[in-house]
Amino acid sequence: MILTIRGKSFDWGSRTYMMGVLNVTPDSFSDGGQFQTVNAAVDRAAKMVSSGVDIIDIGGESTKPGAIPVDVATELARVIPVITAIRQHREIRDIPISIDTTKSVVAQAAIAAGADIINDVSGGEFDNQMFATVAKLGVPYILMHMRGTPATMQQMTDYSDVIGEIIAFFETQIDRAIKSGIARSHLIIDPGIGFSKTYGQNIALIRQIDKFQILDLPLLVGVSRKSFIGKILNQPDPEQRLWGTAAACCASIAGGADILRVHDVVEMVDVSRVADVMFRSSIG
């Protein structure tokens, strides 16, 4: 199955694609405040494109544990100027952009400004207009698993079967999305590493990431710099978790991940190129 965005073909299963994180927020867990100005954000986007990124994921609201929600106006003021500036930049204007939002109003405005994909950490749970909006826009949609909200999610980790319950969630939401008019070929799933999961559950998810292939949809995995890596390494600084991230990305590719959402693009592009040769039979 091939998805084409801005002339770029995503041939799922052929290789691992890189989604680069561009947080235009003051409070994201790893790089909050670094790219708040439009110029800083565009410079960061340009560096990611030159490093081989396939998608830039722009977010204007932190979803770290305990994060405080922001209103629509604030989120729009953060993301729309950045999307517009990238689309006006001669060297990077054709890069596919995803908008990381749970709000249908923000999603619609971002697509109008030049974004291509909607990346919703709530999986359609926060905004009852999200699926209808995605269907109307006719764009790809990343459906992530999370319980509760960023403020409450780490108190909602009681699973009897973490893999089975996440798969059941996806089955329900995929059915809802398709009945709302979203094309199945536009759906991408993300099991939500670090979102309403304990340390042990995150490890279990990565070890068994291949089980999500039963859903027959492209799989996005976001492990970059996350706290379970910090616990393994005894490293409280997210920016010092580069090689731990590399190991978790490699494990994710071995399990069949199609997209990796990362902060350290240049290093993870190299990791994925080698891992693809090791774990994808069509390459090498």
Q: Which residues are catalytic?
A: 226, 261
User: Helix/strand/coil (H, E, C) string of 193-243?
Assistant: CCCCCCHHHHHHHHHCHHHHHHHCCCEEECCCCCHHHHHHHCCCCHHHCHH
Q: Are strands 17-23 and 141-144 parallel, antiparallel or unpaired?
A: unpaired
Kind of pairing between the strands at 259-262 and 8-11: unpaired
Task: Give rounded-to-5 percent helix, strand, coil for the chain.
Answer: 45, 15, 40
Q: From residue 22, how far is each of 55, 174, 202, 210, 217 by CA, in Å? A: 10, 27, 23, 27, 25
Q: What is the C-alpha separation between 58 and 78, in angstroms, rounded?
A: 10
| CB 194 within 8 Å of CB 226 | yes
